[in-house]
Structure 1
Amino acid sequence: MPAPTLASLRPRFQLSTAAAAGLLQLGLWVVMLGFYFAWNNRPNFSFSGPIWPLVLLQMGFAVLLFNALVYLIIPHWLLRGHYGRALLGAVGLLYAFQLWAYTCARLALAFLPLDAVMRRTLHAFYVADFWTMLLSPFGQLQVLMGMLAVFLFPVLISFLAYTLVVERRRLHLERHHLALELGFLKSQINPQFLFHTLGSLLRLTQTRDARAPDVVLHLADLMRYTLYETDAERVPLARELEFLEDYLALERLRRPATVEIAHTVSGEATTQQLAPLLLHPFLERLFAPLDDNDDDILPEQPARFTSHVQANAAAVGLILTRTSAAARPPSYRTEPAVAAALRRLALQYPGRHTAHISEAAHTLRVEIHIELA
């Protein structure tokens, strides 16, 4: 049975970003509608007639306030450091509220059958002294204080909703970034490694070396795994360990006798699952100095590499060591593939992994421990 792919693991029904945002707003406005009906029916502020004209007036501006904050003022001005624009936007919303309330109140007073208390309330709050308040800084302060009581809740909801939107986008970007990193790591199996392996294969075939067929078989298995079996979010740990063993088998075949490579596995890999190609970069970059002809380190110089995997039902550990006769400046941690692998660990196993790298001129030790879900 083929391994599940990333596409098959996604839910079959997915909302577009616009549809999700629309449903979010619909839910918010249902909550807000209940809030405004309750607010205008509080014991010290009640009417004998219908209160829906006042509720619609407040709801209409709450919609404008929410969208202005969430889609313009907060993301494009406030969070980008355009504080002057954000302040002007806030002042603009203050004036917009007064104009909106004045227009709605005048229309309601002119065309709707309102009770006497509602008429007095609309006139006193939104019509009387409108122009005087509009042109007075002290009047604007009074309007602002009056707005806080009615619109503090939608402002808080706006910031909460924006936080949810940002978090959703962040998670989407992280998933996309993980997919890109996986693609990068797959491509890193590895142009340089493939070049050297094919070069070794050419020399073996030219000399009719009996090891040539084994090189072809191991290389084919590596390519089959990276191209066809790593699209899933998780792969069997046993298959990942087979991949590492194939890689090390290739390294043994193409390295001279002065390079010693030892690999051991303790524990059993049965049903455990692991993110694909997560361990390989740590192992592959261990051998980088042997292919670096710009340094004093040459492939013929003695070196010893050890790899030990410890697996149990809940965790997997990898311990790598390198001991070389020639000195080398510490550069393992800064290798792009190693940095990407550490980043993947942080994203895919947050709080459930440890990674320790100690490097000196002649020695390197890497310890990776991952708690499996």
Structure 2
Amino acid sequence: MLEILGGWLFKDKFHSDYEFYVWQLSYAVTIMGVIWINHFILIPLFYDKRSYFLYGILLIGSIFLGAYLKAYPNWIGVYKMISFLIYTTGTGMAAFFLRRNMIIRRENDEKEKLQKDMELTYLKEQVNPHFLFNSLNSIYSLSRQQSSETPDVVMQLSELMRYQLESAKKDIVLLKEELEFLENYLLLEEKRLSKRCIIEFSIDGDVSDFAIAPMLLIPFVENAIKHGAQSTNEQSTIDISAQMKNSTFHFCVVNSKPTMATESKREGIGLENVRRRLNLLYPNSHVLKIDNTEKAYRVNLAIDLKAST
């Protein structure tokens, strides 16, 4: 082994530098030949196809053949060469599998990211028609009442739609802008619902330095209106609060329920959508709790947001 690993220590045994370099080159060619056969023939054709027994036999055979061709008829040299080839082949295999695992992991990460981006795009696009449908219902109700505020509401809706279309192109928006969007939407709904619904909206804490995924909060507000004030002619209430504590954003929506409310088996597309988006965008950094009691429907959302740059 020492004769092979420390060939430079025995340079004086050779008659010329030429013979020494040829000797060194022959060992390098033998070693690289066995490694090449293992990596590009044996592993793809046998190991990767789970023919482990056949792979082992062929690998041992290639090591023995390489040692035999290099050192025969010196059997001591053959044994030394076999030991050296086992060492170099094992080291090469470790490097090969480490590199391949890194490539596979990177490819899987890229596929997962692509899948996540595609799913988020699909979920975000679902919000567009859902929000537009609810907004057009508001205008339709006002037009039937022949309200003088209908033109102003149409202008409000156009501003809301402009924000929605612009935010749909972004991954995140300023939290302050998102809350202003909610406030304008509530003003529009307040006009439609007239005096039969009392809407309270409060913001506590400094939200100017934080960002959030666009159109993430609106489904909770729409759900409160749809299953609260919109489903009854009774007096109803909607209480919405947004609070920032350190880097955690707390969002709470509470709506009263009609006395003769019909239990729904589904929460609707909007809440299913937002649940999925939260899991994709804020994994392990959000808590969503929904309490559906006899008199009220409460949503509590907490998200750990990072300060925007």
Q: Which runs of 5+ in 2 are unaligned?
A: 8-22
Q: How many percent identity over aligned positions?
A: 19
Q: What's the CA shift string for 1:257-292, capped at 9, x where partnerless? A: 33332211112332322222222233333334359x
Matched, 1:90 2:52: yes
The answer (yes or no) to whether the contact 1:256–1:300 under 8 Å persists in 2 is: no
SS at match of 1:188: helix
The answer (yes or no) to whether the contact 1:308–1:319 under 8 Å persists in 2 is: yes
Alpha-carbon shift at residue 104 of structure 1 (Å): 5.2
Q: Displaced runs of 4+ in structure 1, greater than 6 A?
A: 114-119, 146-149
Matched, 1:344 2:277: yes
Q: Quick one: which amino acid aligns to residue 32 of structure 2?
A: L
Point out the structure with max Rg over C-alpha: 2
SS at match of 2:156: helix
Q: Pick one of 221, 224, 247 that aligns with 1:286.
A: 224
Q: Quick one: which amino acid aligns to residue 164 of structure 2?
A: T
Q: Pick one of 36, 40, 46 that aligns with 1:64.
A: 40
Match in the other structure for 2:149: 211
SS at match of 2:5: coil
5 Å-filtered alignment, 1:322-341, equals 322-325=255-258, 326-329=260-263, 334-341=267-274
Alpha-carbon shift at residue 188 of structure 1 (Å): 2.0
Q: Which runs of 5+ in 1 are unaligned?
A: 1-41, 74-84, 127-145, 292-296
TM-score (norm 2): 0.73
Q: Paired residues, what number?
A: 286
CA distance in 1, matches of 2:249, 2:209: 12
Match in the other structure for 2:202: 264
Match in the other structure for 1:300: 233
CA distance in 1, matches of 2:209, 2:42: 49
CA distance in 1, matches of 2:300, 2:250: 7
Q: What do you get for the CA RMSD once the two structures are aligned?
A: 3.9
Match in the other structure for 1:309: 242
Alpha-carbon shift at residue 52 of structure 1 (Å): 0.6
Match in the other structure for 2:29: 53
CA distance in 2, matches of 1:239, 1:262: 18
Gap change, CA 1:122 and 1:231, over 3 Å in 2: farther
SS at match of 1:278: coil
Q: What's the CA shift string for 1:187-210, capped at 9, x where partnerless? A: 32333x433432442453355412
SS at match of 1:318: strand
CA distance in 2, matches of 1:260, 1:118: 97
| Between 93-102 and 48-57, the greater mean CA deviation after superposition | 93-102
Match in the other structure for 1:121: 78
The answer (yes or no) to whether the contact 1:57–1:101 under 8 Å persists in 2 is: no
5 Å-filtered alignment, 1:1-373, equals 43=2, 46=5, 48=7, 49-50=23-24, 51-64=27-40, 68=44, 73=48, 86=50, 89-98=51-60, 100-101=62-63, 109=70, 120-121=77-78, 125=82, 150-151=89-90, 154-155=93-94, 158=97, 161-162=100-101, 165-166=104-105, 168-191=107-130, 193-205=131-143, 207-255=145-193, 257-289=195-227, 298-311=231-244, 314-325=247-258, 326-329=260-263, 334-373=267-306
The answer (yes or no) to whether the contact 1:221–1:246 under 8 Å persists in 2 is: no
Q: Quick one: which amino acid aligns to residue 289 of structure 1?
A: H
